[in-house]
Amino acid sequence: MKTVISKNDKTIFKMKKQILLIAIFLLTCFWQGANAQVSVHFNVGLQPIWGPVGYDYVDYYYLPDIDAYYDVNNQVYVYFDDGRWITNRYLPPRYRDFDLYRAHKVVINEPSPWFHHDRYRNQYNGYRGRHDQVPIRDSHEERYWENPNHPEHGKWHGDHGEGHGDHGEGHGDHGEGHGDHGHGEGHGHEGHGEGHGHDR
């Protein structure tokens, strides 16, 4: 017996095929997005011990007191000098007495924030001179022991998750931290070596 496929059957089959392809595409996008979030959502071990506690992931710190930035993932400072933005592993000599542990740090998770420097400077100018954050160095949370510069790094065995907890919930889009009041000792780095410039 000969089977006759109607025009409606062909249309339905085509629609089902399109729906299946869309579903596969959406699942692929979701899977890739989930993997990307997992791969970039934690960098506690890279955050300097003078950084504020409470953040699982940080791209940059803005330092209102000196109008400079610190790139956590690349571990370099970005500051304005001689008409351009300079990238350097150290702060310039004029900031040799700047105390990174006590100064307020604003967490900014946006690319190249110095290109919007006027906005950040105006928005966070009120944080100049504030000493209201606990530095990672003074924290006894196990997740910070991963950092080789942490005083308790010797207790870290590599099997401690970086955890979520109730931390890292900054305020606003940039998540500036407001931890307990803490006062650390120590000073900023003196500037040495050559920096790399960025156009404004």
Exposed/middle/buried for residue 181 (C-beta within 10 Å: 0-12, 13-18, 19+): exposed
Give the model's pLDDT for residue 169: 39
Residue 36 has pLDDT above 50, yes or no: no
C-alpha to C-alpha distance for 162 and 42, rounded to whole angstroms: 7
Give the model's pLDDT for residue 193: 41
Give the model's pLDDT for residue 196: 54
Q: How confident is the model at residue 125 (pLDDT cuts 50, 70, 90)?
A: very high
Exposed/middle/buried for residue 167 (C-beta within 10 Å: 0-12, 13-18, 19+): middle
Sequence ranges of the domains in the chain: 44-198
Residue 177 has pLDDT above 60, yes or no: no
Cβ atoms within 10 Å of 71's Cβ, excluding its own: 17
Question: Which DSSP helix (H) or strand (E) runs through 62?
Answer: strand 60-63
Residue 190 has pLDDT above 50, yes or no: no
For residues 148-170, average pLDDT: 64
Give the model's pLDDT for residue 19: 86
Q: Which two tokens stand for residue 162?
A: 């970086």
Highest mean pLDDT among 41-45, 109-113, 162-166: 109-113
Strands 106-108 and 68-71: unpaired
3-state DSSP call for residue 34?
A: helix
b/e per residue 54-69 (b: at least 16 CB within 10 A): bbbbbbbbbbbbbebb
Comparing 39-53, 95-109, 136-150, which segment has the lowest mean pLDDT? Answer: 39-53
C-alpha to C-alpha distance for 72 and 60, rounded to whole angstroms: 6
For residues 22-37, average pLDDT: 66
CA angle 171, 174, 177 (to 5 degrees): 50
Residue with tokens 């007191």: 65
Q: How confident is the model at residue 23 (pLDDT cuts 50, 70, 90)?
A: confident
For residues 77-95, average pLDDT: 96
Give the model's pLDDT for residue 67: 97
Residue 5 has pLDDT above 50, yes or no: yes
For residues 17-35, average pLDDT: 72
Give the model's pLDDT for residue 3: 55
C-alpha to C-alpha distance for 170 and 166, rounded to whole angstroms: 11
Q: How confident is the model at residue 179 (pLDDT cuts 50, 70, 90)?
A: very low
